[in-house]
Amino acid sequence: MPSIMGITQSAFDPASRVRFIQFMPGLKAAGWEVVHRPNVPDRQWMSPFKPRILRGVHYRAGRIVMKANRWSDVRRAGEFDVVFVNRDLAGGGLFFERRLLKNNPRVVFDFDDAIFIGKNEYAVRWMCEHAAWVTPGNAYLAEFARRVSDNVTIIPTVVDTDRYTVRSYGAPANGRKIRVGWSGSDRSVPPSLYPYLDMLANLQRKLDFEFVVITNSRPRFPNPDLRFTFHEWNAEDEYHLESTMDIGLMPLVDEEFQRGKCGLKLLQYMAAAIPTVGSPVGVNKDIVTHGTTGFLATTEKEWEEALAELIQSASLRASMGMAGREACVDHWSVRRWLPELSGIFHRVSDGGR
């Protein structure tokens, strides 16, 4: 039985879950022995102690433990036919990466954000050059990888559509307000959502919809006129978006880092048969079929017109939502991409560098 070690930043962050963890059951069913090795403690771990000195000492001790655990993973890596690395091993340079590649060159390096921008460019470039295979999440990221490697295959970020509850459009809304929703990391709120708050507040005054925000912690929006409902994110609720929103948003700003985004929000909405409105930036243009599964909008006027159409038409929400669900299952699902990923692992395990 071929074996694979999957190295991720944690057991719960979005990249770890959608780039590797959700594929684990399918890989096992396909005959792989799968060992998952997230960072322990995870990269987001913070000391719970309140005194500053004690908290600092505790945090540094946690980082030492994390790196000791990662060193153990690197030493064991030679036992596996393939090692899958999402983004990096422990952060900060190439200390672990160089030793991993020396111990086992059959490494698949995966990344789903423009992590090569800034100080990490050399480390990401080195991994792309020396890994046996590279699996970037979209064409923009693949362009960077292909500068130094011929063994590059785009594996888009996808969702497990079988786990999502599909929105039912048979029941009436019973007079409640239409819910326009955004779901994502709290770190994405300022760069992605802030530029659109004024537009949303202006439209809310005209159409009186409910704005729903699903994230890690309650945001503090600079626009006091925008009324919103906050839902704290948790992993299980992620598969029941149909219960919290009627329209899903993925606004982006057309700049270098956000062009590398892999469209996870859009795919989650579509998996639940929720119609979408997104910015035509990066892979969003590939995911959304404008006018069929949702709308792509650039200007404030385009955003207002798209949202107004969906807010005011139940039949349009239904048709776009169901079309989006169908497209997600066919093109952006674990079911669709598991054979591709497993094929790359087999090629690497057979020495196909």
pTM (predicted TM-score): 0.92
Say what the pLDDT of residue 46 is: 87
Q: Do 127 and 184 fall within a single domain?
A: no
Range with lowest mean pLDDT among 88-97, 285-294, 313-322: 88-97
Kindly state the average pLDDT of the residues 93-101: 95
Q: What 3-state class would DSSP assign to 313?
A: coil
pLDDT at 173: 62
Same domain, 120 and 225: no
Please tell me the predicted confidence (pLDDT) of residue 144: 97
pLDDT of 67 reads 94
Residues 103 and 177 both lie in one domain: no
* Nearby residues of 30 by Cβ (< 8 Å), 6 or more positions away: 338, 342
Q: Rounded mean pLDDT of 207-234?
A: 92
User: Is 284 in the same domain as 343?
Assistant: no
- Mean per-residue pLDDT, 155-175: 87
**Whether 97 and 214 share a structural domain:** no
CA distance 290 to 304: 15
Whether 143 and 211 share a structural domain: no
The number of beta carbons lying within 10 Å of the beta carbon of residue 16 is: 23
Q: What is the pLDDT of residue 171?
A: 63
CA distances from 59 to 8, 42, 47, 56 (A): 20, 12, 5, 5
Q: What's the mean per-residue pLDDT of the chain?
A: 94
pLDDT grade for 29, boundaries at 50, 70 and 90: very high
pLDDT at 322: 97
**pLDDT score, position 228:** 94
* For residues 76-86, average pLDDT: 97
Same domain, 345 and 247: no
Q: Whole-angstrom Cα distance, residue 100 to residue 73?
A: 9
Q: Is the pLDDT of residue 164 over 70?
A: yes
pLDDT of residue 239: 94
Range of the domain at 140: 3-156+334-349
Dig out the tokens for 194 from the structure. Answer: 């802030």
Instruction: Give the CATH number, domain containing residue 286.
Output: 3.40.50.2000
Domain count for the chain: 2
The pLDDT of residue 92 is above 90? no
Considering the domain architecture, whether residues 167 and 288 belong to the same structural domain is answered as: yes
> Over pLDDT 70: what percentage of the chain?
98
C-alpha distance from residue 100 to each of 60, 174, 211 (Å): 24, 58, 46
Q: Same domain, yes or no, for 82 and 217?
A: no
Do residues 18 and 76 share a domain? yes
Q: Do residue 229 and residue 137 come from a single domain? A: no
- Which residue in the block uniquely carries the two structure tokens 């390096």? 109
pLDDT score at 353: 45
Residues 38 and 133 in one domain: yes
Q: What is the mean pLDDT of residues 183-198?
A: 92
